[in-house]
């Protein structure tokens, strides 16, 4: 995995040099409207990304890998949300946006990986949706600990409220009993790595925004932590960030639903959803 981390770092450094603030997304939201998977459009975009990879360099690309896991059915999440929340559209849209706005070569397609050494250790950056449902067995705990301590990075997204936080915290204490998540403030470098955020980003689930006009998901209990966005990090002994936890946020919806409503794209996807992911990716690959 060390070689892959080096390659990713170089690619992202080069990509960052070609970024030009928010103007890179000024082309507006993508074609199409309404819910549903836009298969033909995505296929054209995937083909374009594939053609941009030089022969023999397919392994020297960034891969957006989505973590598969068993889920807990409680904590106010119902039975329908799982590791695959927002995919395939979120994954395909995000990777195409990275391809559009940086010079990073992106691996096309969907990459769903298990928490096994055979799978996870091939990917220096891994994304997890529905963090409040993540449940780890003993083998997965061991694999996750080794992966993170050996240089891997995990982004946890798409969960809300106190109950979901406590469930995630309980599961990750099995991975690192002696490490506590550290809350990040706006002055942390990750919020300024490429794009300069003036406030902590928060992306609501699209239904919450459309139905209630708020920037958080109504329903969960927020008595303890409130409904403002909260970011936490878990560090190794050298103070390298191994895990970024995005509580009270739903970046996946910011990527998946960008084309469904111009106001959602303008308010969330363009100024926060893509820029913050680029910040996270750049930071994770260079620290």
- Give per-residue pLDDT as tens, 78-134: 444 589 999 999 999 999 999 998 888 899 999 999 999 999 999 999 999 999 999
**What band does 22 get if pLDDT is binned at 50, 70 and 90?**
very low
117, β-bridge pairs = none
According to the model, what pLDDT value does residue 195 have?
96
- Percentage helix, strand, coil, to 5, in the chain? 40, 15, 45
Q: What are the structural domain ranges in the chain?
A: 2-286
6, pLDDT greater than 50: no
Per-residue pLDDT, averaged over 50-66, amounts to 88
Higher pLDDT, 166 or 76: 166
Q: Pick the range with the lowest mean pLDDT from 93-97, 192-196, 259-263.
A: 259-263
Residue 269 corresponds to which tokens in the numbers above? 């996807």
- Relative to beta strand 70-71, strand 241-247 is unpaired
Closest CA to 209 of 254, 164, 247, 246: 254
Query: Percent of the chain having pLDDT more than 70?
Result: 83
User: Global pTM?
Assistant: 0.89
- Relative to beta strand 112-113, strand 65-67 is parallel
According to the model, what pLDDT value does residue 71 have?
75
Supply the CATH classification number for the domain 2-286. Answer: 3.40.50.12140
According to the model, what pLDDT value does residue 37 have?
53
């Amino acid at each position: 995995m060390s070689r892959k981390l080096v390659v990713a770092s170089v690619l992202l450094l080069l990509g960052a040099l070609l970024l030009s603030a928010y103007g890179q997304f000024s082309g507006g939201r993508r074609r199409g409207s309404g819910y549903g998977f836009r298969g033909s459009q995505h296929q054209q975009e995937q083909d374009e990304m594939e053609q941009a990879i030089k022969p023999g360099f397919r392994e020297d690309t960034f891969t957006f890998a989505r973590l598969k896991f068993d889920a807990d059915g409680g904590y106010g999440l119902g039975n329908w949300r799982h590791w695959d929340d927002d995919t395939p559209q979120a994954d395909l849209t995000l990777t195409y946006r990275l391809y559009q706005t940086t010079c990073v070569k992106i691996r096309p397609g969907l990459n769903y990986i298990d928490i096994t050494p055979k799978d996870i250790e091939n990917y220096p950056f891994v994304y997890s949706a529905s963090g409040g449902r993540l449940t780890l067995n003993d083998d997965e705990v061991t694999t996750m600990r080794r992966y993170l301590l050996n240089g891997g990075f995990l982004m946890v997204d798409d969960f809300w409220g106190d109950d979901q936080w406590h469930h995630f915290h309980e599961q990750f204490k099995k991975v690192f009993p002696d490490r506590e998540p550290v809350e990040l403030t706006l002055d942390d470098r990750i919020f300024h790595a490429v794009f300069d955020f003036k406030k902590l980003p928060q992306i609501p689930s699209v239904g919450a925004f459309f139905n209630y006009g708020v920037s958080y998901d109504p329903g969960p209990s927020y008595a303890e932590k409130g409904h403002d966005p909260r970011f936490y990090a878990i560090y190794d002994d050298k103070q390298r960030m191994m895990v970024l936890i995005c509580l009270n946020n739903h970046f996946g919806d910011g990527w998946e639903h960008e084309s469904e409503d111009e106001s959602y794209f303008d308010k969330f996807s363009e100024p926060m959803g893509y820029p913050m992911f680029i910040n996270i990716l750049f930071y994770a690959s260079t620290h």
